[in-house]
Amino acid sequence: MAYELFYWPTIQGRGEFVRLALEEAGAAYVDVARERGTDEMLSILGDAGEPHIPFAPPFLRHGKRLMGQTVLILQYLGDRHALAPKAEAGRLWTHQLQLTIADLVSEAHETHHPISAELYYEDQKREAALRAKHFRESRIPKFLDWFEEVLARNPRGRSYLVGGRITYADLSLFQAVEGLTYAFPLAMKRMRAPRVRELQQAVARRPRISAYLASERRIPFNVEGIFRHYPELDA
Amino acid sequence: MAYELFYWPTIQGRGEFVRLALEEAGAAYVDVARERGTDEMLSILGDAGEPHIPFAPPFLRHGKRLMGQTVLILQYLGDRHALAPKAEAGRLWTHQLQLTIADLVSEAHETHHPISAELYYEDQKREAALRAKHFRESRIPKFLDWFEEVLARNPRGRSYLVGGRITYADLSLFQAVEGLTYAFPLAMKRMRAPRVRELQQAVARRPRISAYLASERRIPFNVEGIFRHYPELDA
């Protein structure tokens, strides 16, 4: 039974974290809005008969199951496709890492929309410049340093965040670092995060991920998504 | 084996969502920083030998387990104290609700710190006023309307978010609405959310919760926490 992913069709956004897990798993999935438009997605969000109504995209349908929230979807896929350890301690730790990546991703979004997600960036540029400065100078280093520490302390080696094999958290950290590097190329050039960079490159080299990244299924970064390159925010 | 909760000792903050679950469960726990000061908490955060290092408080120690991220801690406690359904669909739905509450809580924090959590509120008052206006006028209604819908659609009735009994998501929604009502009394008076209000009152009446709220263990709301009452942000 193929998964159905519902997400905005022209951006990577939060949906990309789900896409990467589905791709690495080699799972059959339909990226519904890209293949058939957004009508079905919007009608589920407005469907008065759906008890488990998502708050916002992305959401995933799997048979009778409908679930929203990126980190929840990843936990679900992780369990089904061995993208997280089976043992409880490792499974929880993977989820904890993912939640921290989600915090980083939210803060990256706030850099260009510090006042309201409903206003245009152009209407909050002054505030965005202030927020982006703090994000570049204090938050990116804090998050990257933490992930460096997590990699350094993994008793099974520094190749993965959790244990000795790939998890959805590795895929998501790859995506977060790709996004930060697109949005803040100058700031990221100054960051020292050798283990995170190695992980990023190792994920990009994985056969299924590298095939995905080279395919048309990978939407290029753009200034509509979560990670946006505005040179004035990377000064 | 008693749980050890590590969180800042003078605020409700994110730790309060954990405290409410522990209280409702009747679980033995130590609120470490309140009872013994913050040294132990800070030393865990700086402990180079701890592989599962938390990014930030709150975190919970349970025997050999150490875990951070509020929603992860709640999932863990929910499983152990019947504060979430056992069946996968209900368990996931509870977690999805909690993740959406966490988003609301983060946005509430952003109203007084839209530029940087490291600056004082007084250094970002102008931006906070702009952000708070959008939060009051567009985000609070969107979240409350969604929870109203969730309650209306619960096939087991409108007393709880999930199924026919209390979950950690109910406790957290109670806390979020309490916090919003403290921070934005005027705006909240204008909101129509009858089912959410009923849930809030029902949670407050639960024997263990009402005993907790009347005890010294409940720290009063104040302008150091996530929910802050600044009259100028509630204009």
Domain boundaries, given as residue ranges, for chain A: 3-80, 88-206
What is the reported pLDDT for B48?
86
Mean pLDDT of B158-162: 96
Which residues of chain A neighbour B54 with C-beta distances below 8 Å?
Answer: 96
Helix (H) or strand (E) holding A66: strand A65-68
C-beta atoms of B119 and A134 within 8 A: yes
Cβ atoms B121, B230 nearer than 8 A: yes
What is the reported pLDDT for A117?
95
- The CA radius of gyration of chain B, in Å to the nearest whole number, is 18
Mean pLDDT of B183-197: 97
Q: Which CATH architecture group holds B3-80?
A: 3-Layer(aba) Sandwich (3.40)
Confidence of residue B223 (pLDDT cuts 50, 70, 90): very high
Token reading at A226: 């979560």
What is the reported pLDDT for A10?
98
Token reading at B130: 């702009």
Which residues of chain B neighbour A132 with C-beta distances below 8 Å?
Answer: none
* CA angle (A96 as vertex; A95, A102 as ends), nearest 5: 85
Which of B58, B23, B6, B72 lies closest to B174, judged by CA? B23
Q: Which residues, 6+ apart, have CB-to-CB distance to B206 below 8 Å?
A: B24, B166
Instruction: State whether residue A103 sits within 8 Å of chain B by CB.
Output: yes
Which of A42, A43, A53 lies closest to A8, judged by CA? A42
Which of A107, A138, A106, A187 lies closest to B118, judged by CA? A138
Which residues of chain B neighbour A146 with C-beta distances below 8 Å?
Answer: 53, 55
What is the reported pLDDT for B117?
95
The ipTM (two decimal places) reads 0.97
A155 → chain B, closest CA residue: B51
C-beta atoms of B51 and A99 within 8 A: no
Interface-testing mutation among B52, B59, B74, B110, with chain A (most A C-beta atoms within 10 A) = B52
Which residues of chain A neighbour B95 with C-beta distances below 8 Å?
Answer: 69, 72, 75
Q: What's the CATH number of domain A88-206, 3.40.640.10, 1.20.1050.10, 3.40.50.2000, 3.40.50.10540? A: 1.20.1050.10
Predicted structure pTM score: 0.98
Confidence of residue B79 (pLDDT cuts 50, 70, 90): very high
